[in-house]
């Protein structure tokens, strides 16, 4: 049996193998007899372990804050009502609200750290993948600077044991026009480090997902930082015109960018 496993001829290749160059999805894995090849079984086990680790790994707040500080940003740490990771996973509702101490701290520091009714508030949260937040949050924020040059004027909040809706309470306390939440998304078997962006206008406790916009899969293997920043800037501009976010705010940035790219291509001399 060991000889047949090592023999390449024992693997029946999938005719769709060429698709593997276009996606990280688990396609065209081939087969050995009626089973998957051993290498694919092992890769699946590794991907599953990486996804589990991403969920349970704690966010290194001190290290993340230091990387932001090195780039000239100020940071404040807040926490949800979930006291630990186990509670966070069992009680999603606790992750949607600030701990009492964090809410009081934010309310006390808001007048000194933010302008009155700031147009934007930024929250960087662990979510279900602290790996994503640790790996990509700073790079994404740096790509946002050309669109929002005053981003360093107000602190960036680092939130732990956080769900998306935690940003609603943050925005309500700060009386922010909009809140941007950068948060680790639920890991997939080929994407343990996917970062999500959620934009909510006039945030208030009790909002639902229909009242916010999402940009998903931000990472080098998915939606790159520059493109994610461009889409977010487009949505913020649209939200300011519309007066709200959610199902009524459409991301038409690709359609609007296509004519500009075509014109640029036509203007290139042969």
Residues 66 and 227: their CA atoms lie apart, in Å, by 25
Strand arrangement of the beta sheet that strand 75-79 belongs to = 75-79, 156-160, 120-125, 178-184, 195-201, 212-218
φ, ψ at 75 (rounded to 5°): -130, 145
For residue 37, the model assigns a pLDDT of: 82
Write out the two tokens for 30. Answer: 């081939």
Contact 106, 99 (CB under 8 A): no
Residues 238 and 126: their CA atoms lie apart, in Å, by 27
- Positive/negative CA dihedral, 181, 51, 33, 29: positive
Residues 142 and 107: their CA atoms lie apart, in Å, by 27
Write out the two tokens for 235. Answer: 């949505």
Angle 66-69-75 from CA coordinates, rounded to 5°: 90
The domain locations on the chain are 1-38, 57-251
| DSSP-derived pairing of the beta strands 212-218 and 156-160 | unpaired
Residues 102 and 89: their CA atoms lie apart, in Å, by 20
Bridge partner residues of 159 (DSSP): 78, 125
Residues 13 and 10: their CA atoms lie apart, in Å, by 9
Residues of the chain with pLDDT under 70: 1-10, 256-270
269 is in an annotated binding site: no
164 is in an annotated binding site: yes
Contacts of 114 (CB under 8 A, 6+ apart): 121, 154, 155, 174, 176
185 is in an annotated binding site: yes
Residues 146 and 264: their CA atoms lie apart, in Å, by 21
Residues 171 and 199: their CA atoms lie apart, in Å, by 11
pTM: 0.84
Task: Say if domain 57-251 classifies as CATH 3.40.50.11240.
Answer: yes
| 243 dihedral zone (left: phi>0; alpha: psi -120 to 50; beta) | left
For residue 258, the model assigns a pLDDT of: 54
Write out the two tokens for 140. Answer: 């994404």
Residues 71 and 234: their CA atoms lie apart, in Å, by 24
């Amino acid at each position: 049996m060991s000889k047949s496993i090592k023999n390449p001829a024992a693997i029946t290749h999938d005719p769709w193998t060429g698709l593997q160059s276009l996606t990280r999805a688990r396609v065209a894995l081939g087969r050995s007899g009626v089973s998957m090849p051993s290498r694919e079984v092992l890769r699946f086990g590794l991907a599953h372990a990486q996804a589990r680790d991403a969920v349970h790994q704690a966010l290194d707040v001190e290290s993340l804050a230091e990387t932001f500080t090195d780039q000239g940003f100020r940071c404040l740490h807040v926490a949800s009502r979930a006291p630990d990771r186990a509670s966070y996973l069992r009680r999603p509702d606790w992750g949607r609200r600030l701990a009492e101490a964090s809410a009081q701290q934010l309310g006390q520091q808001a007048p000194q750290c933010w302008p009155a009714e700031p147009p934007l508030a930024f929250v960087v949260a662990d979510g279900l993948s602290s790996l994503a937040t640790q790996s990509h949050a700073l790079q994404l924020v740096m790509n946002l600077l050309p669109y929002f040059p005053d981003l360093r004027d107000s602190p960036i909040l680092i939130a732990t044991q956080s769900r998306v809706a935690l940003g609603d309470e943050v925005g309500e306390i700060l009386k922010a026009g909009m809140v941007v939440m950068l948060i680790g998304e639920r890991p997939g078997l080929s994407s343990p480090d996917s970062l999500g962006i959620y934009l909510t206008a006039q945030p208030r406790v009790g909002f639902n997902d229909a009242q916010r916009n999402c940009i998903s899969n931000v990472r080098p293997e998915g939606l790159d930082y520059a493109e994610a920043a461009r889409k977010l800037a487009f949505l913020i501009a649209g939200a300011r015109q519309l007066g709200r976010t959610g199902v009524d705010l459409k991301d038409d940035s690709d359609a609007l960018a296509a004519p500009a790219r075509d014109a640029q291509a036509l203007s290139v001399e042969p």
